[in-house]
Amino acid sequence: MSSGTGAGQPAPVHRSMGWTLAPEVSFCDAGKYLVFLDLRRDRYFCLPAEVDAATRIWLTDQTGAPPNALVRNRLLVSAEAPAREIRACDTRTAADDLTQGSAPVTAAMLGRAVIASVSARASLRMRSLVRVLQDLPPPGAPADRELHAACLSFRAARRLLPIRLNCLSGSVALLRYLGPHTPRPTLVFGVTLAPFRAHCWVQDATYVLNDDIDTVSRFVPIRAL
């Protein structure tokens, strides 16, 4: 995996003195730079080099005021005492995938896959990313083999459909296909630098459910929900 917080070690925890990340904001250490994701604006960005350096220094001990750019851009907001923790995204590192598995596809599964795929793509075109993500059921406990089989059936069904989905719409479609009655796995967003790229996938514990481990391991997780 790219250098940063996702290399199998716990992300550093930073204590905030009166400040916390805005609810829709998360970040990761992608090596040369901190990378932020602001879901309100559907935007990834890095800080100018001097602000990045000042932010790293401030995060080490939380003394004094944070860099003004973090407050001005509402990446940080004031927090009531006691101070909350500010930490980089520390979702579990993916270690395996379902690429070697297979599952049958019934007519009912194919119909569900069509509905999930079309609705996911339409929602992401017509609504804000925040609203689409808010409509997802909350993540549940680690899933069992039945959920993994359902993910395999969705993948097989997608191969039969003339509907093109990118990583985000495909992940949202999978979560909708699984439905609200199944313990929901985690939707993970990741980034890499030089050149900058963003990606997302669905993960259950350390299993990648809709991608392969070689692809996912190139990205540092920046948000998991």
Q: Which residue has the tokens 């194919």?
A: 110
Provide the b/e sequence for 133-144 (b: ≥16 CB within 10 Å).
beeeeebeeebe
Q: Which residue has the tokens 């970040």?
A: 27
Q: What tens digit of pLDDT does each residue of 151-164 get?
A: 999 999 998 988 88
Phi-psi label, residue 194: left if phi above 0, alpha if psi -120 to 50, beta otherwise = left
Q: How confident is the model at residue 205 (pLDDT cuts 50, 70, 90)?
A: confident
In degrees rounded to 5, what are phi and psi of residue 134?
-65, -25
Check pLDDT > 60 for residue 207. Answer: yes
Q: Partners of 176 in the beta sheet?
A: none
Q: How confident is the model at residue 11 (pLDDT cuts 50, 70, 90)?
A: low
What proportion of the chain, given as a percentage, has pLDDT over 90? 52
**What burial class does residue 61 get, using C-beta atoms within 10 Å of its C-beta: 0-12 exposed, 13-18 middle, 19+ buried?**
exposed
Mean pLDDT of the chain: 85
Q: What pLDDT was estimated at residue 99?
A: 78
Strand extents, DSSP E, the chain? 13-15, 19-21, 25-29, 34-38, 43-46, 76-78, 85-87, 96-97, 186-192, 197-204, 207-208, 220-224
92-117 average pLDDT score: 87
Q: What pLDDT was estimated at residue 47?
A: 93
Q: How confident is the model at residue 141 (pLDDT cuts 50, 70, 90)?
A: low
Structure tokens at 122: 């339409």
**What burial class does residue 76 get, using C-beta atoms within 10 Å of its C-beta: 0-12 exposed, 13-18 middle, 19+ buried?**
buried
Helix (H, G, I), strand (E, B) or coil at 31: coil
Q: Partners of 34 in the beta sheet?
A: 29
Cα(95)–Cα(208) distance, integer angstroms: 8
- Prediction pTM value: 0.85
What proportion of the chain, given as a percentage, has pLDDT over 70? 85
